[in-house]
């Protein structure tokens, strides 16, 4: 398989002359990778990891030890490398200093071409982790894309069409004012999705304006605007297809519809200080109850609609993970618990039943990542507790919610207000800092944050040197948050790290971020090699985010205002 526009780099590793044999220092240690078998778990978070295992590996380190920097006389094949790779004088100096050098190969569509070219030139091949990780990315991306195009698109169309028809029926049936409004909004909600999927529908006049406004906002994709259906601000810039979703019209439409289903929230909380009014909270909770109830009861071509939904959800969960927000499954579970198996949707006309549902659902897990819902502003004093309060305000169902991923969670914990405000050099503007109405805040996280949490001391060192750790506040600081996150992720076992493909991919990157002992060659124990491995980890992580752009929940830094609470 090929990936368009890949830019290749060659890591040139020296072959040391046997004259350096006298430089070997001490005994070599063993490289031990113990076998791991994940235990069975009934917890939905870890159900996939129950099948994970790998055999242990034990290797004896016998690499020749030598001191850096080297002289040209120490390098056995320097003349050959200079001739066949056309190494510059600067590259040779770096080679002597670090024991390796990275040179630009140029753009290629096939990563294996680099190795074929080197073999043709008679140059010894050193395979770095970049190759394996890039090929894994290609397989991951292609498999997911094929499933979406061949199966998920059609399933999504069928589910949406059926729920649209059911919502039309609800509107004509209900006489209760709240339930009629809930049905009207559901008609608009599914009509928007059908439009995004490329299906023409005759939208009834009572929902037409709402649908037109939503479609207009999505087409303009100019950022935050008020949703005509949900009555809070939504970031419509998210609906621009990207990643592999630009490769066909079907994928573009699938992207937009799934983004709609993944982001738009049926919020549970309303009233003073909330994102929506109390009345709207009752209406959208009624909407979510209707959708969840119908999903479990309707049939599509002989198959239960909920089974179709669960198949899509389960497969995408295997790739990326579980929804950060509540799902129709949890809403249905609470309905059955409160009202029994034979309940009728007519019970939702009773305000007390909707209130009971809100109370029961608010007792469930809150989201861990703020996805920008409502473009909410936090006022001073800026504390971690206010971030938690905001997350509580965003509780509610997403029809096919975006997934909890650890890197987005890390980002959420390492921006303001969670880390406080900037307390560094006033004459310095770190990459992460932005001036807000509330002051100088950490508005932009960095990929280095993730690598530092996963154990890279070099990543943390770079962040410190560039001023990106200079934040503190009431009972918090960047350093305290970093320590908390490191402790949390260090405590995870093999089952937790291999709960799905997304987490497992990140787990593989952790191996690049530690220190190497004397079982490894001297060049691998240098700071320059740490930087190279850190770049590899960041590049692979970028490919992971690229592949899962539709499903991974993106974290937002909330607006910080100047008006005190």
For 74-82, what is the mean pLDDT?
83
* pLDDT of 30: 52
| pLDDT bucket at 336, cuts 50 / 70 / 90 | very high
Contact of 85 with 103, CB cutoff 8 Å? yes
For 134-140, what is the mean pLDDT?
96
* pLDDT of 522: 87
Q: State the residue for tokens 């006309």.
A: 349
For 214-232, what is the mean pLDDT?
98
Choice between 207 and 53, residue whose per-residue pLDDT is larger: 207
158: pLDDT strictly greater than 80: yes
| pLDDT bucket at 17, cuts 50 / 70 / 90 | very low
345's tokens: 């949707």
| pLDDT bucket at 399, cuts 50 / 70 / 90 | very high
- Neighbour tally for 254: CB within 10 Å: 25
Distance from the Cα of residue 376 to its chain's centroid: 21
For 542-553, what is the mean pLDDT?
98
Choice between 485 and 82, residue whose per-residue pLDDT is larger: 485
Distance CA 428, CA 436 (A): 16
Choice between 20 and 145, residue whose per-residue pLDDT is larger: 145
For 76-94, what is the mean pLDDT?
87
The predicted-structure confidence for 236-254, as pLDDT tens digits, reads as follows 999 999 999 999 999 999 9
Contact of 122 with 84, CB cutoff 8 Å? yes
For 337-351, what is the mean pLDDT?
95
24: pLDDT strictly greater than 50: no
Residue 243: name the closest of 314, 145, 312, 311 by CA. 145
For 376-393, what is the mean pLDDT?
96
* pLDDT of 73: 84
For 267-276, what is the mean pLDDT?
97
Calculate ∠ Cα 267-369-232, nearest 5°. 35
| pLDDT bucket at 402, cuts 50 / 70 / 90 | very high
DSSP string covering 105-142, please? Answer: EEEES-THHHHHHHHHTTPPP---HHHHHHHHHHHHHH
- Neighbour tally for 228: CB within 10 Å: 19
Contact of 556 with 370, CB cutoff 8 Å? yes
**% of the chain exceeding 90 in pLDDT:** 75
* pLDDT of 49: 58
**% of the chain exceeding 70 in pLDDT:** 89
For 162-188, what is the mean pLDDT?
98
For 423-445, what is the mean pLDDT?
96
43's tokens: 């917890």
Choice between 338 and 125, residue whose per-residue pLDDT is larger: 338
- DSSP conformational letter for 387: H
| pLDDT bucket at 13, cuts 50 / 70 / 90 | low
* pLDDT of 15: 46
Contact of 153 with 308, CB cutoff 8 Å? no
For 128-144, what is the mean pLDDT?
95
| pLDDT bucket at 369, cuts 50 / 70 / 90 | very high
25: pLDDT strictly greater than 50: no
Instruction: 516-521: list long-range contacts, CB under 8 Å, 24+ apart.
Output: 517/29, 517/61, 518/25, 518/26, 518/28, 518/29, 518/61, 518/65, 519/28, 519/29, 519/30, 519/31, 519/59, 519/60, 519/61, 519/63, 520/31, 520/61, 520/63, 521/63, 521/64, 521/65, 521/99
Widest pairwise Cα distance in the chain:
93
Least confident of 14-23, 158-167, 305-314: 14-23
* pLDDT of 33: 57
b/e sequence 272-295, b meaning 16+ C-beta within 10 Å? eebbbeeebbbbbbbbbbbbbbbb
Contact of 398 with 264, CB cutoff 8 Å? yes
* pLDDT of 269: 98
Residue 325: name the closest of 262, 367, 265 by CA. 367
121's tokens: 């030139």
418: pLDDT strictly greater than 90: yes
* pLDDT of 26: 44
For 68-77, what is the mean pLDDT?
84
Is this model's pTM higher than 0.95 or not?
no
Distance from the Cα of residue 173 to its chain's centroid: 41
For 192-221, what is the mean pLDDT?
98
| pLDDT bucket at 23, cuts 50 / 70 / 90 | very low
| pLDDT bucket at 41, cuts 50 / 70 / 90 | low
The predicted-structure confidence for 273-290, as pLDDT tens digits, reads as follows 999 999 999 999 999 999
223: pLDDT strictly greater than 60: yes
| pLDDT bucket at 2, cuts 50 / 70 / 90 | very low
């Amino acid at each position: 398989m090929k990936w368009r526009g890949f830019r290749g780099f060659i890591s040139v590793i020296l072959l040391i002359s046997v004259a350096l044999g006298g430089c070997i220092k001490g005994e070599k240690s063993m490289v031990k990778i113990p076998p791991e078998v994940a235990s069975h778990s009934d917890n939905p978070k870890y159900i996939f990891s129950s099948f994970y295992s790998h055999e242990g590996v034990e290797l004896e380190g016998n690499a020749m030890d030598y001191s850096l920097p080297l002289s040209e006389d120490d390098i056995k094949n320097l003349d050959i490398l200079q001739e066949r790779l056309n190494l510059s004088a600067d590259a040779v100096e770096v080679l002597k200093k670090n024991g390796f050098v990275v040179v630009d190969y140029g753009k290629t569509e096939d990563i294996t071409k680099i190795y074929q070219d080197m073999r043709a030139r008679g140059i010894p091949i050193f395979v770095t982790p970049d190759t394996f990780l890039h090929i894994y990315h290609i397989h991951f991306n292609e498999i997911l894309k094929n499933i979406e195009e061949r199966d998920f698109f059609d399933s999504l169309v069928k589910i949406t069409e059926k729920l649209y028809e059911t919502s039309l029926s609800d509107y004509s049936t209900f006489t209760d004012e709240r339930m009629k409004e809930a049905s009207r909004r559901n008609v608009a909600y599914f009509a928007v999705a059908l439009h995004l999927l490329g299906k023409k529908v005759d939208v009834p006049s009572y929902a037409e304006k709402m649908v037109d406004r939503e479609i207009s906002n999505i087409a303009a994709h100019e950022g935050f605007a008020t949703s005509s259906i949900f009555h809070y601000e939504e970031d419509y810039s998210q609906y621009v297809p990207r990643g592999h979703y630009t490769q066909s019209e079907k994928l573009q439409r699938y992207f937009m519809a799934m983004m709609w289903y993944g982001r738009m929230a049926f919020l549970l909380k309303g009233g003073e200080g909330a994102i929506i009014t109390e009345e709207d909270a009752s209406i959208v909770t009624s909407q979510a109850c209707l959708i969840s109830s119908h999903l479990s009861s309707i049939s599509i071509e002989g198959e239960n609609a909920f089974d179709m939904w669960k198949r899509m959800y389960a497969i995408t969960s295997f790739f990326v993970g579980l929804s950060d927000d509540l799902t129709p499954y949890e809403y249905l579970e609470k309905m059955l618990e409160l009202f029994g198996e034979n309940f009728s949707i007519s019970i939702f006309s009773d305000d007390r039943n909707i209130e009971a549902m809100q109370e029961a659902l608010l007792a469930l897990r809150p989201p861990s990542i703020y996805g920008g819902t409502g473009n909410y502003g936090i006022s001073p004093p800026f504390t971690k507790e206010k971030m938690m309060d905001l997350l509580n305000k965003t509780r509610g169902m997403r029809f096919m919610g975006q997934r909890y991923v650890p890197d987005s969670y890390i980002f959420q914990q390492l921006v303001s207000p969670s880390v406080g405000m900037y307390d560094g050099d006033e004459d310095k503007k770190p990459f992460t800092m932005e001036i807000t109405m509330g002051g100088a805040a950490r508005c932009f996280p960095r990929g280095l944050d993730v690598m530092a949490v996963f154990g890279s001391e070099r990543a943390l060192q770079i962040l410190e040197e560039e001023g990106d750790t200079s934040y503190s506040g009431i009972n918090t600081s960047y350093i305290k948050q970093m320590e908390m996150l490191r402790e949390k992720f260090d405590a995870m076992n093999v089952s937790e790290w291999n709960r799905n493909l997304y987490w497992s991919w990140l787990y593989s990157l952790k191996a690049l971020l530690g220190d190497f002992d004397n079982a490894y060659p001297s060049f691998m124990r240098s700071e320059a090699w740490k930087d190279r491995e850190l770049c590899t980890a960041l590049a692979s992580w970028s490919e992971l985010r690229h592949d899962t752009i539709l499903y991974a929940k993106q974290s937002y830094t909330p607006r910080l205002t100047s008006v005190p609470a």
